[in-house]
Structures are given as C-alpha cells and as structure tokens.
Amino acid sequence: MTATETAAQPVRRLEWQLAQVREIVVETYRVRSLMLHVPDWQGHLPGQHTDIRLTAADGYQAQRSYSIASPPEDELLSLTVERVDNGEVSSYLVEELRAGDQFELRGPIGGYFVWTVAMDGPLCLIAGGSGVVPLMAMLRHRERRNGHAPTLLLYSSRSPEDVIYRAELDAMARRDPNLRVVNTLTRKQPDGWMGRRGRIDKALLAEECFPPEQGPKIFVCGSTPFVEDVSGFLVELGYDPLTIKTERFGPSGG
C-alpha cells in the first residue's frame, strides 16, 4: 500500500461520546484515576490518549488531552489525571468530579507512542511524575497478556507521596521476574529508603537500562525538561534515536 492510497481512504470522524464516571480512585494527594464506562469505545492501544471536553452551564467549553491508563483488555476506560495548579480542567476532574457524573470524550488518539506485546522487547519505560500514566497502560497490557518481554520501568518522583500506582507496581514486579521497577526520589526520601535518590542522570541510565546492543524499545514520558534531559542522555549513551519514543507533558495549564 502506498501513502497516497492511505490519504485517499475515506476516514471516519472520531465522534464525541459520553463517558460515565463509575468510580474515582485516589492515587496520590493530587492525582486521581477516573474509571469510565464508555459504551461506544472502539478500543485502543497502550500508550494512546483521549481528548475530553467539558461544557459549563453558560456554554463555555474546554478541551484537554489525557493519557489512557487502562489496558485495552479492561472493560472500563481509565484516565489518570494530575491536578495542575490553576488548571481549570484538571482541577475540575480531580476535585469536583464524582461517580455518576458524565462528560464528553473522544479517541483513541496517537499511534506512535504505543507498545503491544506483539512488538516484544526488551522494553525500557522511563517516567517522570505523571508521565508514568501511558507507560502503565503498557505494563498492565503486558501483564493481562502474560507478556514475557524483559521490561524495566525507571520511575522518577519527587517524594514517596508522589509515586502513582506504587502498590500495583510493587505487586506486579514481585509476581514477574522479567519486570524490574526502579524508583528514584528526587526531593524527599523516607528513612530507610532503599531505592535510588536524585534525578535520572546518565550514570543511572547506563547502570539500569538494557544496553544499546540489546536494542531496547524505549519510551520516555514526563515534563519537557525531563524528556529533553533523559532522551539527550540516551542518545549520548549510544541508543539509536529512532528507538526512543517520547511524550511530553507541556506546562500548559491543563
């Protein structure tokens, strides 16, 4: 098939659909997961995102994009949202939204920052803060499908209280000898913290990542400075830039 044929194919619009909140899971003091029932959902790939649209009583609308945290195998669609200071949409989703509420959503969106068990490994996932969300969809998918690809999650958080999905990730790693979860805490470490300290740097990457010769598939997600630093270090360490896929959460007031 040529590219021209792709362009000529009739395409179906991604329609706005109603999502109903079934449950809200408190992940951290500023992060919630919205468990959504979306009757018309067409399915998605781990790593994709959705657009959501909120409408105020006076007709004012706001749209934002949020990564999908649930694997395609799950019945409910889960979005994990971090409250951004002064963010009108994220504040609403984290503080105001309750089970039973509805809002509009469309997707899935994005087809590049995705991984499925068919793509195999080794898989190297590197997250900063809420950048862990699309990577969690990949890990959950891998687990639901009994994937054995050697996998590393390198996850940087500010403090222990900021670690999202902590219990689930610990349990996942305990069950699966092919999965390694390495946490690093940048600002505050509890007494007796056995994990890493400080930001992800070149030395940490060199020590923890699968070596370049193994050709790992690398996904980096976090704030812009985080992704710029980490992906820059990876290139310097000799990883093929084409194997490094990035997703950046801009400081965009969401």
Partner 1 sequence: MNLVGLKKIANGCAGSRHSRSRRVLRHHRERFELEAESTADNRRDYRSMGTQKIFARRQVHKQKADTMDGTTISRGFRSRRQEQTPKNRLPPGQYVTTDFPVLSAGPTPQIKLGDWTFALQLGGSLLGKWNWAEFEALPQTTIKRDIHCVTKWSKLDTTWQGVTFDDLLKAVGLMEPPAPYIMAHCDGGYTTNVPVADLIGGKGMITTRYEGLPIPPAHGGPARLLVPHLYFWKSAKWVRRVRFMEKDQPGFWESFGYHNYGNPWKEQRYDGD
Gap between the Cα atoms of 60 and 88, Å rounded: 12
Residue 172 tokens, joined: 């996942």
Sorted by sequence, the CB contacts under 8 Å of residue 225 that are 6+ apart come out as: none
Q: Interface with partner 1 includes 13 (CB under 8 A)?
A: yes
| The residue type at 226 | F
Q: Interface with partner 1 includes 58 (CB under 8 A)?
A: yes
| CB-count burial class (<10 Å; 0-12, 13-18, 19+) for 79 | buried
Nearer to partner 1, 124 or 169 (CB): 124
Q: Interface with partner 1 includes 103 (CB under 8 A)?
A: yes
3-class SS string, 123-138: EEEEEEHHHHHHHHHH
Q: Interface with partner 1 includes 57 (CB under 8 A)?
A: yes
Contact 44, 68 (CB under 8 A): yes
Q: Interface with partner 1 includes 219 (CB under 8 A)?
A: no
Contact 163, 133 (CB under 8 A): no
Contact 231, 205 (CB under 8 A): no
Q: Which of 73, 75, 161, 240 binds partner 1 (CB under 8 A)?
A: 240
- For the bound state, the minimum distance from the C-beta of residue 71 to partner 1, rounded and expressed in Å, comes to 15
- The length of the chain in residues reads 254
Q: Interface with partner 1 includes 251 (CB under 8 A)?
A: yes
Q: Which of 73, 75, 101, 170 binds partner 1 (CB under 8 A)?
A: 101
Q: Interface with partner 1 includes 235 (CB under 8 A)?
A: yes
Nearer to partner 1, 145 or 248 (CB): 248
Total residues in contact with partner 1, by rule CB under 8 A: 66
Helix, coil or strand: residue 54? strand
Q: Interface with partner 1 includes 38 (CB under 8 A)?
A: no
Sorted by sequence, the CB contacts under 8 Å of residue 206 that are 6+ apart come out as: 237
Q: Which of 25, 55, 180, 214 binds partner 1 (CB under 8 A)?
A: 55
Q: Interface with partner 1 includes 99 (CB under 8 A)?
A: no
Binding site for partner 1 (CB under 8 A): 1, 3-4, 6-7, 9, 11-15, 17-18, 39-40, 42-43, 45, 49, 51, 53-58, 60-65, 86, 88, 91-92, 96-97, 101-104, 109-113, 224, 228, 231-232, 234-235, 240-242, 244-248, 250-254
